A and B are shown apart, each in its own frame.
Chain A
């Protein structure tokens, strides 16, 4: 499978273009890094690929087909702040099952403990809650994962644990990964190639 953004142009309201004529493609099984200075729109590009934002120009396709507007989105996004990505009033179990029931192999691969499920989001540490968000994003119909500073708020040990599990799952399921990170060491360590987003 091939995820493609073609001639993407995006601006916030009347502000100047963040980017125009931007092309990006990621194949299944590939781990691609995305770097670039702050404010150049890495996060925005991730949101466009995952269908959270509509570009004013260009389109996002998978194997040439436009992405579905309804139903489960094959491109899932995990971002830096898990506490902002979950409903604070839901129990973890409900958060986790938002996109369908995850299988137990996935939960154990991510080191998710059964006892967490009964708790509220604020009763988990950032690293624990981020594992929940990753599990939620890795539903059976996910084909591509956009990781936007996914482990930036975590300590190095937790970061290495999470990436080891995610890369293993991605290999087994032939997922395509886009890794947005300011950490060049992390990008070099896990990505097969990388793209730099700079002035367009």
Chain B
């Protein structure tokens, strides 16, 4: 049984336009994924595809004007607001994307100690800072005094000292030096080896593939593909969706090839496949209806022509 099961999640926002007229813009639709204990699942996708919103939906911290439907199960039971209150920050931990999540008025050493488990939080916090090459004086700095990379290391350290069973890491590594990225990856791997589940949202495809078991690919608020980490190799011939292939080929270490066009805006989606306007393999059938997710080669894909 999966530890976390997201089923047909959709998220929309109520926006007030002129005067009191309100309208609803759907930003996530038909998004399903699961993650097992001991597993690392990476989430890749275009900027603005809803990766952070997915994290916030799981944690129940969507903004006020958001509406959510679909179901999220944790450990076999529905994860509702009441259960979240007990689990969030304890069994379920977030490594947030924005460093603004650190408490601006609290020294960072104290912040990390407040989530540490065990009888000696000070020793736990010192040893984790040491591991992340954060010197003694950093304990007494406030978040605004940290460089971007240092703040990220503090955020990862916060998750590392907790004993969460589900870690949701939202872009934990951007702007970090390669040694620190390696250390962060090592932390996540260790947590997974100890039976935790890690949902690793990132643009750093190369880093994520070093530890991930499976990859979920998002585009325009929906899942396009679920693949094994090993499918990302060579020219991407084992990948299933044209978008995933394009993403892989755009890496600077691959072809650095830009796929033209932009992701459609949520209030102006094509009627058929969401990738059709940019897809070289698109046919008339693609434009007629929205493809369903289907199983293919031990993974799944939302494309009628994928083989």
Q: Mark A149-163, 1 if CB is under 8 A from B, else 0.
A: 100111111111101
B176 cross-chain contacts in A, Cβ below 8 A: 38, 182
Within 8 Å of chain B (Cβ to Cβ): is A64? no
Q: Mark B192-232, 1 if CB is under 8 A from A, else 0.
A: 00000000000101100000000000000000000000000
Q: What is the CA–CA distance of A163 and B250 in the complex, to the nearest angstrom?
A: 11
Within 8 Å of chain B (Cβ to Cβ): is A20? no
Within 8 Å of chain B (Cβ to Cβ): is A37? yes
Which residues of chain B from 30 to 79 have any CB-CB distance to chain A below 8 Å in the complex? 44-49
Report whether A182 and B177 are in contact in the complex, using a CB–CB cutoff of 8 Å.
yes
Within 8 Å of chain A (Cβ to Cβ): is B139? no
Report whether B258 and A160 are in contact in the complex, using a CB–CB cutoff of 8 Å.
yes
Nearest residue, chain B, Cβ from A190: B252
Q: Mark A82-119, 1 if CB is under 8 A from B, else 0.
A: 00000000000000000000000000000101000000
**How close is A134's CB to chain B, nearest CB, in angstroms?**
14
**How close is A162's CB to chain B, nearest CB, in angstroms?**
8
Within 8 Å of chain A (Cβ to Cβ): is B150? yes
User: CB < 8 Å: which of B147, B206, B253, B258 contacts A43?
Assistant: B147
Report whether B149 and A183 are in contact in the complex, using a CB–CB cutoff of 8 Å.
no
Report whether B178 and A157 are in contact in the complex, using a CB–CB cutoff of 8 Å.
no
Interface centre among A39, A43, A125 (most CB of B within 10 A): A39
Report whether B250 and A157 are in contact in the complex, using a CB–CB cutoff of 8 Å.
yes
**How close is A189's CB to chain B, nearest CB, in angstroms?**
4
**How close is A36's CB to chain B, nearest CB, in angstroms?**
8
Report whether B257 and A185 are in contact in the complex, using a CB–CB cutoff of 8 Å.
no
Chain B interface residue number, banded:
35 or more
B246 cross-chain contacts in A, Cβ below 8 A: 157
Report whether B175 and A186 are in contact in the complex, using a CB–CB cutoff of 8 Å.
no
Report whether B149 and A155 are in contact in the complex, using a CB–CB cutoff of 8 Å.
no
Q: What is the CA–CA distance of A183 and B253 in the complex, to the nearest angstrom?
A: 10
Within 8 Å of chain A (Cβ to Cβ): is B94? no
From known contacts A43-B147, A127-B48, infer whether A153 and B177 are also in contact, taking CB-CB under 8 Å.
Answer: no
From known contacts A156-B203, A156-B251, A183-B252, infer whether A38 and B47 are also in contact, taking CB-CB under 8 Å.
Answer: no
Report whether B45 and A155 are in contact in the complex, using a CB–CB cutoff of 8 Å.
yes
Report whether A157 and B258 are in contact in the complex, using a CB–CB cutoff of 8 Å.
yes
Within 8 Å of chain B (Cβ to Cβ): is A61? no
User: CB < 8 Å: which of A153, A164, A182, A188 contacts B203?
Assistant: A153
Q: What is the CA–CA distance of A190 and B150 in the complex, to the nearest angstrom?
A: 27
Q: Mark A176-200, 1 if CB is under 8 A from B, else 0.
A: 0000001111101110000000000
Report whether B251 and A149 are in contact in the complex, using a CB–CB cutoff of 8 Å.
no
Nearest residue, chain B, Cβ from A83: B98
User: CB < 8 Å: which of A39, A128, A164 contacts B258?
Assistant: A164
- How many residue pairs between the two chains, A and B, have CB atoms under 8 Å in the bound complex? 96
Nearest residue, chain A, Cβ from B137: A15
A154 cross-chain contacts in B, Cβ below 8 A: 47, 203
Report whether A188 and B252 are in contact in the complex, using a CB–CB cutoff of 8 Å.
yes
Within 8 Å of chain A (Cβ to Cβ): is B179? yes
Within 8 Å of chain B (Cβ to Cβ): is A28? no
Within 8 Å of chain B (Cβ to Cβ): is A58? no
Nearest residue, chain B, Cβ from A164: B258
Q: What is the CA–CA distance of A1 and B241 in the complex, to the nearest angstrom?
A: 47
Within 8 Å of chain B (Cβ to Cβ): is A51? no
Which residues of chain B from 246 to 279 have any CB-CB distance to chain A below 8 Å in the complex? 246-248, 250-253, 256-260, 262-263
B118 cross-chain contacts in A, Cβ below 8 A: none
Q: What is the CA–CA distance of A149 and B64 in the complex, to the nearest angstrom?
A: 32
A189 cross-chain contacts in B, Cβ below 8 A: 252-253, 256
User: CB < 8 Å: which of A153, A155, A184 contacts B46?
Assistant: A155
Within 8 Å of chain B (Cβ to Cβ): is A126? yes
From known contacts A38-B147, A39-B147, A164-B258, infer whether A157 and B46 are also in contact, taking CB-CB under 8 Å.
Answer: yes
* A interface residues with partner B (beta carbon < 8 Å): 36-39, 43, 80, 111, 113, 125-128, 149, 152-161, 163-164, 182-186, 188-190
- In the assembled complex, 27 residue pairs joining A and B whose CB atoms fall closer than 8 Å, in A order, are A37-B179, A38-B147, A38-B149, A38-B175, A38-B176, A38-B177, A38-B180, A39-B149, A80-B174, A125-B48, A126-B47, A127-B48, A152-B175, A153-B203, A154-B47, A154-B203, A155-B44, A155-B247, A156-B252, A157-B259, A160-B252, A161-B259, A161-B260, A163-B256, A182-B177, A182-B178, A189-B252
Q: A37-B179, A156-B250, A182-B177 are in contact. List 17 more A-B contacts (CB 8 A).
A: A36-B177, A38-B147, A127-B47, A149-B148, A152-B175, A153-B171, A153-B174, A153-B203, A155-B47, A155-B250, A156-B247, A157-B246, A157-B247, A157-B259, A158-B47, A182-B175, A185-B252
